[in-house]
Amino acid sequence: MAFLLVLLVIILIIAFMSVKIVRQSEVYIIERLGKFSKVADAGLTIIVPFFDHVRSVVSLKQQTMDVPPQGVITKDNVTITIDTVVFYQITDPAKAVYEIQSLKKGIEYLAITTIRDIIGKMDLDETFSSRDGINTQLRVVLDEATDKWGCKIDRVEIKDITPPADIRDAMEKEMNAERNKRALILESEAQRQSAVTIAEGKKQAAILEAEADKEAQIRRAAGEAQAIKEVAEAKAKEIQMIYDAMKKADPNDTLVQLKSLEALEEVAKGDANKIFIPFEATKALSSIGSIKEVLTDNKKSSKKG
């Protein structure tokens, strides 16, 4: 009875050692007598006890690794500290186990040397403005170097670039000076634009005012011309009426001359500074003067008699 119990215990131990359950996203590296035998995928796996054993459990998930902050020297001899993180995934578990002693250490050391090589070819300002370029170069170099280790580098990200304290203070002062410069430029541009706008508004106002004055003068001149025209037409009608009346009355020369003088008297009442008397009117005036002299002589003779 005791033998059966011992045999049962041995069978259970052998069964436990023979049956392996591999979890999802993991694989087992199985060795037989110290030599690689197979890669056990997720699920139930049977191995031979005492001959086979699990060398390593390899995760197929994407993994992250923080590279310790490293002090590197730029092209212009400034020492900066760079903190980096690497995203990688194992594509060949057997190579990841047998091709390198420690995959994580290999990636870490390779990342450090590559960062120093890349940053050593850049100036300080270029390192801050070329993060994407640095990330890409790191990923390409690491991916190529780790391919023989059964590993794929998906991404490399620089988390932080820390310059020395004195360099950081100088950069902050430079940034403040640049901000002040931009603010002054923007203020000056705003003032210039405001002055241009005001000048343009004054110009447009002056143009509109001049156009309004011009239009008013034109309208005033047109009104005065129309008034003169209407007055002239009225005078012409009056003269025509007088002429027609005189023609019907069949006047003699003396009456015509008297009417001409009356017309001249009306003209003389106008605003004109000069009056042009027709030649015929001068004859009438001389006749009237002669008549006046005769009348004067007659009056003197009557007084003597």
- Extract the tokens encoding 225: 């011309």
Using CA atoms in the order 109, 96, 139, 123, what is the torsion angle rounded to 10 degrees?
10
Model confidence at 283, pLDDT cuts 50, 70, 90, reads: low
Selection from 204, 107, 234, 275 nearest residue 99 by Cα:
107
Percentage, residues of the chain above pLDDT 90: 16
pLDDT at 295: 45
Give tens-digit pLDDT for 1-60.
Answer: 677 777 777 777 877 778 888 888 899 999 888 888 888 888 888 888 888 888 889 999
What does the DSSP assignment read for 135-164? HHHHHHHHHHHHGGGTEEEEEEEEEEEE--
Give tens-digit pLDDT for 67-85.
Answer: 888 888 888 888 888 999 9
Where are the strands (E) in the chain, listed by range? 19-22, 26-32, 35-40, 43-46, 52-59, 63-73, 79-90, 151-162
The whole-number average pLDDT for the span 228-251 is 71
Q: What is the pTM of this model?
A: 0.54
Place of tokens 């054993």: 53
pLDDT of 281 > 70? The answer is no
Place of tokens 């009608």: 237
Neighbours of 59 (CB within 10 A): 14
Burial of 97 (0-12, 13-18, 19+ CB in 10 A): buried
pLDDT of 126 > 60? The answer is yes
pLDDT at 140: 92
Give tens-digit pLDDT for 217-227.
Answer: 888 888 888 88
Give tens-digit pLDDT for 131-145.
Answer: 888 899 999 999 999
Instruction: Specify whether the CB–CB gap between 89 and 143 falls below 8 A.
Output: no
pLDDT at 149: 92
Highest mean pLDDT pick, 20-24, 162-166, 272-276: 20-24
Give tens-digit pLDDT for 170-211.
Answer: 777 777 788 788 888 888 888 888 888 888 888 888 888 888
Kind and range of the H or E run holding 67: strand 63-73
Mapped to the 3 state alphabet, what secondary structure does 78-98 carry? CEEEEEEEEEEEECCHHHHHH
For the four alpha carbons of 185, 188, 193 and 194, in that order, the dihedral sign comes to: positive
